[in-house]
Structure 1
Amino acid sequence: MDTTTLRNSLNPIKRLKEEFVSNLTGSSMIEIAALSTIIPILVLLRHSFNSSNVIGMSLRAVLDHTAANASLKKSDGLVIRSKSLKRYLAAIAVDFLIIVIPTLLFFTVLADWSCLCAILLVLLLLLLIAAKGMLNHSPTRESGNQSLRANISSFRVVVMITTCLCILAVDFRIFPRRYAKTETYGTSLMDLGVGSFVLANSLVSRQARNVSSTNRKGYQYWLIYGLNTYLLSNQRGSDIISQNKEGLFSIFGYWSIYLIGVQLGNSLFFGKNSSATLGSKRRARIIVWILALFFWMTTLLLDSYVERVSRRMCNLAYVTLVLAQNLQVLAILMLSGYVAGNETSVLEEALNSNLLAAFLLANLLTGLVNLSVDTLSTSSITALLILLVYAFILSIAMGLANFNGIRLKFW
């Protein structure tokens, strides 16, 4: 019996988990686009729901209501005056019901209906926009930069919510295999995770650099003329480069994503050229929508005629897909000005104040679940309950941290 066979026989669960995540081919780009439509619309629906006073009053109404007797705490420009922990947790719970639970369901039991649900949610969003137009709501009083920065914050929160839900859900059979990471070519929801994380952080980077088109095109040229064969081969030498070839060479692709994100953030949202006028907000919305459509079309052309999307190589098609998918999410969130009650939800503010802490806690809880539960043998109902409890603990923990002014940062 050779070493590999002996190791597999001694640890059958490990072998089953390896097989569970192997030889995956991903999902269609249409499904990725549908999921990228659903989640930001859920956030916008929550923004609209904030103004309807269904739970008594929105967060800002609570703050105004208790301003006379409350102490002040500042977090990223948000002044929190409320001392009512009960109301605050109630708002977190409503956010959890409207944003987190539906997102989790679309990643699991409702995955096969994602395209249909995306269409229905788009129609609902259009109705809300039309309703605001008919009611003739007054324009928002906040400055253009504040509104655009709020959109960026919402976008980063959407990326974090998706990441935190997927890192545990992928271990259960209830999570569709087409959403898990692909082996070579193809794309999936989790394939876009690292690229989305890089872009979300680059948009708020304070260091502006010029985007180098030579870096993207040059790396893709190497891939087409032999580097892709080397990166995707299973043969590895004993040197450090060969052992880590995908990670090392994919830096060129991720660096391109970062540079483009920095340029977009600097030119549209945070730079000297951006202004606080209503015209600048409209200009930014139009540009983001145009770029999202442009990168989707570019991705389809590259995937069909140049080289298929590959996360492992972070090739040009993968770079444009990351940009297309994330700019689509951002573009939808930037429609908040057209929806009545475009307030930031409590859960968004809590997560945005502690993105790093949320990510660390999500990984810790994921590890605890995997140590305690045989995820591959868990029934669908049990898996869904575990995921709901996990997501609820994460939401409440971040809410309590934000309420008490706790922030985890290393810089």
Structure 2
Amino acid sequence: MLGAYPKKKNDDAVSGNRNFKAYLATLSLDYLVIVVTMLLFFTVLADWSYIMACLLIILTLLYIAVKRPGDSSLSFDEEPNSLRSYIMSYRIIVMIITFLCILAVDFKIFPRRYAKTETYGTSLMDLGVGAFVLANSLVSRQARNMTSVNLKSTIVSCSPLIILGFLRLVTTTGVDYQVHVSEYGVHWNFFFTLGAVSILTSIINVPPRYSGIFGLLVLVGYQFCLMNGLNHYLLSNDRGTDIISQNKEGIFSIFGYWGLYLLGVNLGNYLIFGSHTSGFRSNRWVRIRVWVLCVLFWLLTVLLDRHVERISRRMCNLPYVTLVVADNLQLISILMLADLVPGRKTSILEEAYNRNLLATFLLANILTGLVNLSIDTLSVSSFAALSVMLIYTYILSTVIGIADYFDIYSAKSQYVVHLAARLTSVIPATCRFRSYVSISLNGGDF
């Protein structure tokens, strides 16, 4: 009996080793299909992205035809409440795009048209800010109608954002790191904006079914002020000595992001957490609602951009807000087409990212900072830049996957996350997107 126990233990170890190897193999395959594909589209294949997208669509249609040989009609799987899985995939895509862009933007292989605009216009990185605000609001406590006005809890929940904002300000100033003043101002950064939006949303507690109307009123009032001279003030290079003038872009854009957040709360409550009569009716009608809302917001964006004011992320004006909503609803609409494809909808890598969003963000910032401190990113060749990006993304994906497999990122190890947060704060070269992600990490479990 005593001799049999070690043998059973060894058998379990061999079985676990095989399972782990299979997990790593699947994780690597997911990395190649998901992350590497997106990386190539954003860098060396950027000029052929439309052609490659068409090829992928054709391959997908062929796959559907092969998997449905006995059914000539395309039908959706009838899974109730599946919009939550779409939102999960949507947030993961936003995360992947973010950790790709925060490092790729420092290399020459990253097209400049994807970088942030100075005044008017849009780009991939311009949409990143609004995407994270919207991604958080869709699954927020406000959208679930789980909020209550409590000044103490509001201050406690917002204090990490404010602290991170001051830490970033101190560290960037201490090392004389170049900051684009025209983006948020002299002292302001997006952490302060996130904290302000959180405070306003908590103190002015609007029921989710009315938050859309209230958010629209905020946006219309803010746009009215912009068209009556505020836009010239925000876009001018003149700055006074007072704190408001020195941080005018960041302070006044709060109203735009707050309005966007309120719209997202209303959409989340209406589409995800609202009551429906049946699972099939919910799944079918929610899909139709998302598509209709996507078209309406795109039409509204075109009208506002042409007849009211051009889109500006810097001011977060009304056309920018409608663009963010339209673009993200379009992404969710495309993800909904996954029901046409039979089989598993979520990969192992996506599940690992979803369960470790905060760890993914922190590790991406640490690795990005290390790369920027180690090499001159603007002077390396395209091959070297792509190699660095592949190594960076593979390390990130593998570490997060292994951490998820062994459940390393648990409630008992939260102090590691806070330590990493401090480390990322003292690495100033974590690029342009480092502030944008935190809002999507506070939406709770989903």
TM tier, shorter chain? 0.7 to 0.9
| Residue equivalent to 2:250 | 247
Task: Give the corresponding residue for 1:161.
Answer: 96
Q: Structure 1's 277 and 190: CA in aligned 2 closer, same or farther, altered over 3 A?
A: same
Structure 2 CA distance for partners of 1:131 and 1:283, relative to 1, 3 Å? farther
Q: Does 1:93 align with 2:9?
A: no
Structure-2 separation of matches of 1:148 and 1:292: 15
Deviations 1:200-256 (A, max 9, x none): 111111213221221111111111111111111111112221121111111111112
Partner of 2:185: none
The residue type equivalent to 2:105 in the other structure is V
1:356 maps to 358
What residue identity is the alignment partner of 1:250?
S
Comparing 122-131 and 188-197, the one that deviates more: 122-131
Q: 213, 217, 220: which one pairs with 1:217?
A: 220
- Which residue of the partner structure matches residue 193 of structure 2? none
Instruction: Give SS of 1:173's match.
Output: coil
Does the 8 Å contact 2:80/2:280 carry over to 1? yes
Which residue does the alignment assign to 1:78? none
3-state DSSP of counterpart to 2:378? helix
Task: Indicate yes or no: 2:55 matched with 1:120.
Answer: yes
**Quick one: structure 1 residues 127 and 275, their matched pair in 2 at CA, closer, same or farther if it must change by over 3 Å?**
farther
Q: For 1:223-242, what aligned pairs fall within 5 Å after superposition?
A: 223-242=226-245
Cα drift, residue 194 of structure 1? 1.0
Cα distance change on mapping 1:132 and 1:305 into 2, 3 Å: farther
1:157 and 1:288 map into 2 onto residues whose CA distance is 19
CA distance in 1, matches of 2:395, 2:349: 12
Structure 1, 290-299 or 347-356: larger mean CA deviation: 290-299
Counterpart for residue 204 of structure 1: 139
Deviations, residues 313-359 of structure 1 (Å, cap 9, x unaligned): 01111111111111111111112211111431001100000111111
Match of 1:110 in 2: 45
Residues 103-139 of structure 1: per-residue CA shift (max 9 Å, x gap): 0011011111122223333333344445555444997
Q: Distance in 2 between matches of 1:196 and 1:91?
A: 29
Structure 2 Cα separation of the partners of residues 193 and 140 of structure 1? 31
The percentage of aligned residue pairs carrying the same residue is 60
Match of 1:396 in 2: 398
Q: Offset of 1:304 from its aligned partner?
A: 1.8
Scaled by the length of structure 2, what TM-score is found?
Answer: 0.70
Q: Who is 2:299 aligned against?
A: 297
Quickly say closer, same or farther: Cα 1:257–1:296, change in 2 above 3 A: same
RMSD, matched Cα = 2.4
What TM-score do the two structures reach when normalised by structure 1?
0.76
2:116 to 181, 184, 188: 181
Cα gap change, 1:393 to 1:356, in 2 (>3 Å): same
Aligned positions, number: 331
Is the Cα contact below 8 Å between 2:76 and 2:340 reproduced in 1?
no
CA contact (8 A) 1:347 1:399 kept: yes
Q: Which runs of 5+ in 2 are unaligned?
A: 1-10, 144-207, 415-443
Which moves more between the two structures, 354-363 or 291-300?
291-300
Can you give the 5+ residue segments of structure 1 that lack an aligned partner in the other structure? 1-68, 72-80
Q: Which amino acid letter does the alignment assign opposite residue 349 of structure 1?
A: E
1:190 CA drift (Å): 0.4
Evaluate the alpha carbon distance shift between residue 275 and residue 248 of structure 1 in structure 2; reply closer, same or farther with a 3 A threshold.
Answer: farther
**Which residue type is aligned with residue 270 of structure 2?**
S
Question: After the TM superposition, which residues 32-43 of structure 1 pair with which residues of structure 2 at under 5 Å, given as runs?
Answer: none
* C-alpha contact 1:128 1:340 (8 A) present in aligned 2: no
Q: Of residues 255, 258, 268 in structure 2, which corresponds to 1:265?
A: 268
Q: How does 1:32-111 map to 2 (within 5 A)?
A: 84-111=19-46
Structure-to-structure mapping, 1:20-35, within 5 angstroms: none
